[in-house]
Amino acid sequence: MEIILIFIAGIMGLMIGSFLNVCIYRVPKRLSIIKPRSLCPKCSKALKFYDNIPLLSYIILGGKCRNCKNPISLRYPIVELITAIITALMFFQWGSNPLWLAAVLISSYIFIVIAIIDFETMMIADIFSYAIGFIGLSFSFFNPYFFGAPFQKLAQAAIGALVGAAMIWLLAFIGKKIYKKEAVGEGDIFLMAAIGAMLGVEGILSSLIIASLFGSVYGITLLILKKAKRFDHIPFGPFLSLAAIINMYSFIGINTFFFYI
Ligand SMILES: [Zn+2]
Residues 16-29 pLDDT 10s? 999 999 999 999 89
Span 235-257, average pLDDT: 93
**69 C-alpha to ligand 1 centroid (Å):** 6
Q: What is the pLDDT of residue 105?
A: 98
**74 C-alpha to ligand 1 centroid (Å):** 15
Within this chain, do residues 4 and 57 fall inside the same structural domain, yes or no? yes
pLDDT, tens only, 165-223: 999 888 888 888 887 777 677 788 999 999 999 999 999 999 999 999 999 999 888 88
**46 C-alpha to ligand 1 centroid (Å):** 9
- Cβ atoms within 10 Å of 167's Cβ, excluding its own: 18
Pick the last residue of a domain from 96, 130, 155: 96
Within this chain, do residues 232 and 141 fall inside the same structural domain, yes or no? yes
What confidence category does residue 90 fall into, taking pLDDT thresholds of 50, 70 and 90? Answer: very high
What confidence category does residue 1 fall into, taking pLDDT thresholds of 50, 70 and 90? Answer: low
What pTM was estimated for this model as a whole? 0.93
The secondary structure of 102-122 as a DSSP string is HHHHHHHHHHHHHHHHHHHHS
Within this chain, do residues 260 and 194 fall inside the same structural domain, yes or no? yes
Within this chain, do residues 84 and 109 fall inside the same structural domain, yes or no? no
Which domain, by its residues, includes 155?
99-261
**76 C-alpha to ligand 1 centroid (Å):** 14
**5 C-alpha to ligand 1 centroid (Å):** 36
Within this chain, do residues 92 and 216 fall inside the same structural domain, yes or no? no
**14 C-alpha to ligand 1 centroid (Å):** 22
Within this chain, do residues 144 and 222 fall inside the same structural domain, yes or no? yes
Q: What is the domain count for the chain?
A: 2
Within this chain, do residues 128 and 250 fall inside the same structural domain, yes or no? yes
Report d(CA 247, CA 51) in Å as an integer: 35
Is the pLDDT score of 260 beyond 90?
Answer: no
**37 C-alpha to ligand 1 centroid (Å):** 14
Nearest alpha-carbon partner for 115 in 182, 32, 21:
21
Is the pLDDT score of 129 beyond 90?
Answer: yes
pLDDT, tens only, 54-66: 999 999 999 999 9
Q: What is the pLDDT of residue 156?
A: 97
Q: What is the pLDDT of residue 187?
A: 87
Within this chain, do residues 43 and 57 fall inside the same structural domain, yes or no? yes
First to last CA, the chain: 38
Within this chain, do residues 91 and 107 fall inside the same structural domain, yes or no? no
Contact 150, 141 (CB under 8 A): yes
Burial of 150 (0-12, 13-18, 19+ CB in 10 A): exposed
Within this chain, do residues 174 and 230 fall inside the same structural domain, yes or no? yes
Q: What is the pLDDT of residue 190?
A: 94
Protein residues placing their CB within 5 Å of the ion ligand 1 = 40, 42-43, 65, 67-68
**72 C-alpha to ligand 1 centroid (Å):** 8
Q: What is the pLDDT of residue 41?
A: 86
**45 C-alpha to ligand 1 centroid (Å):** 6
Contact 111, 82 (CB under 8 A): no
Is the pLDDT score of 229 beyond 90?
Answer: no
Within this chain, do residues 124 and 166 fall inside the same structural domain, yes or no? yes
Within this chain, do residues 73 and 104 fall inside the same structural domain, yes or no? no
Nearest alpha-carbon partner for 145 in 259, 257, 9, 244:
244
Pick the last residue of a domain from 96, 111, 137: 96
Pick the last residue of a domain from 96, 123, 147: 96
